[in-house]
């Protein structure tokens, strides 16, 4: 997790960046383990090894703290880097697939995703944080990549990129969150390769 101090400012915080890091890490750990409703400011302070007042000086409410924690944990998930030229796309995808497979098969990441996707009805601010800090940046990057591939003729000109992204995201959510059982990284990597092959982003198998 990133060790940067939170971006949001407030009177009296942050005084100790190490305390901020411990609090944010504890917040994510408890969110994964217990869910939103069973995670409290007091339990986060105890897990972080700090006084409750230290937490309350920085975050007034639990949802604000959890939103910051969600923002910070995005640094643990590999991205695509710069948008590549179309000719480099197949090699880039092949290089990144094992990384994506490892992350998506991680029970901790799967649990966090499930917690946040279910947050909408009772904790819309947390779902918004997940969308803004995890989903939307990667979707924008993927859209730019696919647009460039489409312009170069790598992707069919008639492809609706937004719908394609929705279809791929839906397939991943189904595979990770709805199917029971623990998935191995190589299983996820193979599934992602087949999924991207259907989208025209990976060459057909020899």
Asked if 40 contacts 62 with a C-beta cutoff of 8 angstroms, the reply is yes
- Percent of the chain at pLDDT > 70 equals 84
Structure tokens at 194: 């087949």
d(CA 20, CA 144): 34
If asked whether residues 98 and 161 sit together in one domain, one would say yes
CATH code, domain carrying 39: 1.10.10.60
Q: What is the pLDDT of residues 124-140, one digit of tens each?
A: 888 888 888 888 888 88
CATH code, domain carrying 134: 1.10.357.10
If asked whether residues 104 and 67 sit together in one domain, one would say no
d(CA 198, CA 90): 13
123 located within any domain: yes
- Percent of the chain at pLDDT > 90 equals 28
If asked whether residues 103 and 191 sit together in one domain, one would say yes
91 located within any domain: yes
11 located within any domain: no
Q: What is the pLDDT of residues 170-195, one digit of tens each?
A: 998 888 777 777 788 999 999 988 98
Q: What is the pLDDT of residues 9-55, one digit of tens each?
A: 444 444 677 899 999 999 999 999 999 999 999 999 999 999 999 99
Q: What per-residue confidence (pLDDT) applies to 66?
A: 92
According to DSSP, the residues that pair with 133 across neighbouring strands are none
Q: Residue 45 sits in which domain range?
A: 17-73
If asked whether residues 187 and 100 sit together in one domain, one would say yes
d(CA 36, CA 123): 8
Question: Domains in the chain: how many in total?
Answer: 2
d(CA 81, CA 203): 21
pTM of this structure: 0.71
Domain boundary (37, 54, 73) is at 73
Tally of CB atoms within 10 A around 42: 12
């Amino acid at each position: 997790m990133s060790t940067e101090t939170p971006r949001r400012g407030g009177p009296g915080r942050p005084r100790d960046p190490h305390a901020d890091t411990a609090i944010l890490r504890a917040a994510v750990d408890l969110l994964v383990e217990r869910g939103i409703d069973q995670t409290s400011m007091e339990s986060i302070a105890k897990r972080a090894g700090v006084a409750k007042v230290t937490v309350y000086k920085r975050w007034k409410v639990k949802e604000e703290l959890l939103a910051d924690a969600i923002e910070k944990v995005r640094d643990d998930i590999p991205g695509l880097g710069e948008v590549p030229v179309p000719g480099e796309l197949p090699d880039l995808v092949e290089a990144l697939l094992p990384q994506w497979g490892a992350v998506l098969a991680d029970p901790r990441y799967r649990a966090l995703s499930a917690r946040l996707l279910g947050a909408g009805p009772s904790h819309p601010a947390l779902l918004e944080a997940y969308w803004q800090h995890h989903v939307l940046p990667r979707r924008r990057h993927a859209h730019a990549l696919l647009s460039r591939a489409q312009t170069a003729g790598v992707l069919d000109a008639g492809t609706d990129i937004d719908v394609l992204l929705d279809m791929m995201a839906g397939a991943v959510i189904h595979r990770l969150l709805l199917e029971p059982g623990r998935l191995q990284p190589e299983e996820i990597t193979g599934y992602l390769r087949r999924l991207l092959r259907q989208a025209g982003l990976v060459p057909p198998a020899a």
